[in-house]
Amino acid sequence: MAEPTSRALCLLPSMQPLPSDAKAIEEDFKRYLDYHLGRFLGCESIYLWQALSYTVRDRLMTGWRNSWIPWNDPKMRRAHYLSMEYLIGRSLGNNLLNSELDGPVQEAMRRLALEIEEIESTEPDAGLGNGGLGRLAACFLDSCATLALPVIGYGLRYEYGMFHQHIENGYQVEDPDHWLQDGDPWEVERPEFTQIIRFGGRTEHFHDPEGHHRVRWVDTDDVLAVPYDMPIPGYRNGVVNTLRLWAARATEAFNLNEFNAGDYPEAIAAKNEAERITMVLYPNDVSECGKELRLQQQYFLASASLQDVLRRWDGASMEEFAESHVFQLNDTHPSIAVAELMRILLDDRRLLWDEAWSIVTRCMAYTNHTLLPEALEKWPVPLFERLLPRHLEIIYEINRRFLDEVRRRWPGDIDRVRRMSLIEEGPVKMVRMAWLAIVGSFSVNGVAELHSRLLREGMFRDFYEMWPEKFNNKTNGVTPRRWLAAANPALAELITETIGDGWQRDLERLSELRPMAEPGHEAFQQRWRDIRLENKRRLADLVARKTGVEFDPHALFDVQVKRIHEYKRQLLNALHIIHLYARIKRGDLDNWVDRCVLIGGKAAPGYQRAKEIIKLINNIAAVVNGDPEIDGRLKVAFLPNYNVSKMMRICPAADLSEQISTAGKEASGTGNMKFMINGALTIGTYDGANIEILEAVGEENFFLFGLRAEEVQAMQPNYDPARYIESDPDLRDVMHLLESGHFNPVEPGIFDGIIHSLRQPGDPWMTLADFRSYVDAQERVALAWRDPDRWTRMSIINTASSGFFSTDRTIAEYNRDIWKLQPIEPATPDSETPPAAPL
326 and 79 in contact (C-beta within 8 Å)?
Answer: yes
> Which of 123, 142, 184, 377 forms a contact with ligand 26Q (CB under 6 A)?
377
Catalytic residue among 451, 674, 685, 833: 674
Q: Which of 62, 475, 547, 670 is catalytic?
A: 670
Interacting stretch for ligand 26Q, rule CB under 6 A, among 173-181, 248-256, 456-464, 668-676? 668-676
Q: Give the H/E segment covering residue 560.
A: strand 556-561
From residue 224 to residue 263, the character string flagging contacts with ligand 26Q as x (rule: CB under 6 A) and all else as - is ----------------------------------------
Q: Under 8 Å CB-to-CB from 678, ≥6 apart: which residues?
A: 483, 484, 487, 488, 491, 651, 652, 654, 799
Establish whether 611 is a catalytic residue.
Answer: no
Question: Smaller CB distance to ligand 26Q: residue 667 or 777?
Answer: 667
Annotated catalytic, 674? yes
287 binds ligand 26Q per the rule CB under 6 A:
yes
Binding of ligand 26Q by 672 (CB under 6 A): no
Q: Which range, of 223-231, 287-295, 358-366, 813-821, touches ligand 26Q by CB under 6 A?
A: 287-295
Active site residue 498: no
Closest by CA to 389, choosing from 274, 218, 214, is 218
Give the nearest distance from C-beta 335 to ligand 26Q in angstroms: 11
Single out the residue of 57, 249, 369, 583 in contact with ligand 26Q (rule: CB under 6 A).
369
C-alpha–C-alpha distance, residues 20 and 101, integer Å: 7
Query: Shortest approach of ligand 26Q to residue 457 CB, angstroms?
Result: 18
Closer residue to ligand 26Q, CB minimum distance, 218 or 293: 293
Among 447, 543, 571, 620, binds ligand 26Q (CB under 6 A): 447
668 interacts with ligand 26Q by CB under 6 A: yes
SS3 content of the chain, % helix, strand, coil (to 5): 50, 15, 35
3-state secondary structure of 513: helix
The active-site residue out of 343, 369, 390, 646 is 369
Binding to ligand 26Q (CB under 6 A) within 386-425 occurs at none
116-155: contacts with ligand 26Q (CB under 6 A):
130-133, 136
Backbone angles phi, psi at 421, to 5 degrees: -60, 140
- Residues 104 and 139: their CA atoms lie apart, in Å, by 25
H-state helical runs in 59-131: 61-68, 92-98, 102-111, 116-121
688 touches ligand 26Q (CB under 6 A): yes
Under the binding rule (CB under 6 A), the answer on residue 288 touching ligand 26Q is yes
Select the residue interacting with ligand 26Q from 670, 690, 802, 810 (CB under 6 A): 670
Active-site pick, 562, 579, 602, 665: 562
Rounded Cα gap, residues 78 and 70, in angstroms: 10
Kindly name the residue from 563, 611, 615, 793 that is annotated as catalytic: 563
**3-state class (DSSP) for residue 475:** coil
Would you say 148 or 559 has its CB closer to ligand 26Q?
Answer: 559
d(C-alpha 11, C-alpha 6), whole Å: 10
Residues for the chain: how many in total? 839
Residues 6+ apart with CB under 8 A from 633: 584, 589, 592, 594, 595
**682 given a catalytic annotation:** no
Residue 828 CB neighbours (<10 A) = 12
Cα–Cα nearest to 477, from 796, 84, 142, 81: 142
Examine residue 669 and tell whether it contacts ligand 26Q (CB under 6 A): yes
Catalytic residue selected from 568, 611, 633, 665: 568
Task: Report the SS3 class of residue 506.
Answer: coil
The answer to whether 692 and 670 are in contact (CB under 8 A) is no
Q: Which residue is nearest to ligand 26Q (CB)?
A: 132
- Return the number of the residue (377 or 558) whose C-beta is nearest ligand 26Q: 377
Closest contact distance (angstroms) between CB of 795 and ligand 26Q is 23
Catalytic annotation present for 451: no
- For ligand 26Q, the binding residues in 319-358 under the rule CB under 6 A are 333
For the bound state, the minimum distance from the C-beta of residue 161 to ligand 26Q, rounded and expressed in Å, comes to: 13
Query: Which CB sits closer to ligand 26Q, 127 or 721?
Result: 127
CA 542 – CA 337 distance, rounded (Å) = 43
Site residues for ligand 26Q, window 607-666 (CB under 6 A)? 666
CB 347 within 8 A of CB 402: no
Determine if 667 is a binding residue for ligand 26Q (CB under 6 A).
yes
Catalytic residue flag (residue 563) = yes
**CA-closest candidate to residue 439, choices 361, 358, 326:** 361
Q: How far apart are CA 159 and CA 145, in angstroms?
A: 26
When asked if residue 818 is in the footprint of ligand 26Q (CB under 6 A), the reply is no
Residues with a known catalytic role: 369, 562-563, 568, 670, 674
| Residues binding ligand 26Q (CB under 6 A) | 130-133, 136, 282, 284-288, 294, 333, 369, 377, 447, 476, 666-670, 688
